[in-house]
Chains A and B, each alone.
Chain A
Amino acid sequence: MHALKGIDLTIERGEFFGLLGQNGAGKSTLINIVAGLTRFDAGRVTVLGRDVRTDYRQARRLIGVVPQEISFDPFFNVREVLRIQSGYFGLRANDAWIDELLTALMLNEKADTNMRALSGGMKRRVMIAQALVHKPEVVVLDEPTAGVDVQLRKSLWTFINKLHREGHTIVLTTHYLEEAEALCGRIAILNRGEIAALDTKARLLARGIGHTRRVCITTQDPLGTLPEALAPKVLRQEGNQIELQLDKTADSVIAALDALRSRGAVITDFNMEGADLEDVFVELTGREQP
């Protein structure tokens, strides 16, 4: 069993790099290998030139990883957790930086609160602070916004952007295309342990990736045969529901609705969403994911 197959990837210093893929594509495995959390049988991995196996001490000083799963030590409060984490990296008097992190992550008032008493979003922010206590040059965030509400997601984006502007190399994994689009300069798309696409965001978008949207239309009565123009765009048709994949620029949603109405359909509901990763895979590989 190989979770990853022949990945050859170089992330440049100072880059904001996005690692995209569906669940199980191998994103976390790749991150864990770089972070030294997972052993690997073949190949070589370096962080700013430091081999993660033979020179792991330096490699780990250079990288800060925010794990995907929320976990915490219930014995300690926020400040204790951050002091202990600093100590592991050999840093004794780190309180000035810890205070800065607490301020930046809006955790000031919670410094003396036990980890158990924090909300999920706060625990996530403590984990980000933990990853930054040793001021690592490379920051890796494994799905930092999974299960996070919209408001916190935006404030995390702002914070991560600030880190990038300050010169950190950022690697972000996500399965939200929108997140990668909003933040990343270059994007790799992982599919079943292999790199399915690797390019700048601009060029990936120019290739049409992410240029489609899904439209789901509900009609009063079940639809019969469809207008010819719509037939190639149908993703799914069931009873009185039809799902179309439309190009954001070339296809008009109104035209599609009109075409259905012209067949006498009475439209009772419709909703639209931007392309998600599944669409990107369909576009890239020309086949449906299992």
Chain B
Amino acid sequence: MNLTGLYTLFYKEVLRFGKVLLQTLIAPIITALLYLLVFGQVFGGRVQVFGGVSYTAFLIPGLVMMSLIQNAFANSSSSLIQSKVTGNLIFVMLTPLSHLEFFLAFVLAAAVRGMLVGTGVYLVGTLFVALPIHHLGFILVFAFLSSAVLGATGLIAGIWAEKFDQLAGFQNFIILPLSFLSGVFYSIHSLPDFWQKLSRFNPFFYMIDGFRYGFLGASDIAPSFSLLVVTLALAALTGLTLLMLKTGYKLRD
């Protein structure tokens, strides 16, 4: 293992978003804050979620996870497509970094970005409501696994896309709707039967539901099952990404 190489690529990826914090950290926190203000005001007291839990306390973990999902994805995917389009990816491809080291560096950097944004949204949320912490372990494990899943998904999208346009399509037609329709704003038990069943096919639902359990101690389904789904998703996406990187799909043509 070329640990120095892995660390350098990870550090470079973190430095990259660190140089544009306004866009990579502050902006998503502001966006989440707006959701919190608007939805909290409109639905607060009107929407019934878990018994005894205020809507705002229900909403905040969902917003944290949604921001984490979107930003972890954005980090690896936009870095990769930029390096591809501008051509500077070649300087990484020429080095002895293995496909595994490449994968870990990008995914870990994406996880750092996702979790930083998530922490920021959480901190802003605590200004509105005192959020309980039922099980810190669940919170951290779901935060890390989910951001890793999205970091890997971002790599796949970045490898596959040849133009910014294609990546934007991936983001707007897959990531954005899936993260919106995953129970961020509602408990799926409030949905008609058909939509409840459909939600079960959305992997983001398990991320949000399990993560929310860590705070509230209540969830739509058993958190251990959510953990299993998210872990399996990470394993499958890791396998796929490593295969793409190892064969050089679209990167070493």
Contact = CB atoms under 8 A, between A and B. Distances in A.
Task: Tell whether A pairs with B.
Answer: yes
A37 B88 contact: no
Contacts of A56: 96
A171 interface: no
Given A36-B93, A57-B96, A67-B90, A92 B253 contact: no
Contacts of B88: 71-73
- The binding surface of chain B is classed by DSSP as helix
Interface stretch (A5-13, A81-89, A161-169, A272-280): A81-89
Contacts of B94: 35-37, 60, 65, 67, 131
A88 B248 contact: no
A61 B88 CA distance: 19
Interface string A56-68: 1110110001010
A69 B93 contact: no
B7 interface: yes
Contact of A39 (B15, B87, B98, B248): B248
B5 to A, nearest CB: 5
Question: Which of A58, A73, A76, A131 has the largest count of B CB atoms less than 10 A from its CB?
Answer: A73
Nearest to A81: B91
Interface string A98-135: 00000000000000000000000000000000110000
Interface residues on B, range: 20 to 34
A57 B98 contact: yes
A28 to B, nearest CB: 12
Contacts of A75: 15-16, 19
Contacts of A74: 86
Contact of B87 (A36, A60, A69, A84): A69
Interface of A: 35-39, 56-58, 60-61, 65, 67, 69, 71-76, 80, 84-92, 130-131
18 contacts: A35-B94, A36-B93, A36-B94, A37-B94, A38-B253, A57-B98, A60-B94, A60-B96, A67-B90, A71-B91, A72-B86, A84-B8, A85-B91, A87-B5, A87-B8, A88-B92, A90-B3, A130-B91
Given A36-B94, A72-B86, 20 more contacts: A36-B252, A37-B90, A38-B252, A60-B95, A60-B96, A67-B87, A71-B87, A71-B88, A73-B91, A80-B15, A84-B11, A86-B8, A87-B7, A87-B9, A87-B11, A87-B12, A88-B92, A89-B95, A90-B96, A91-B4
Closest 9 CB pairs of A and B: A87-B8, A71-B87, A88-B95, A57-B96, A90-B4, A71-B88, A73-B88, A60-B96, A88-B5
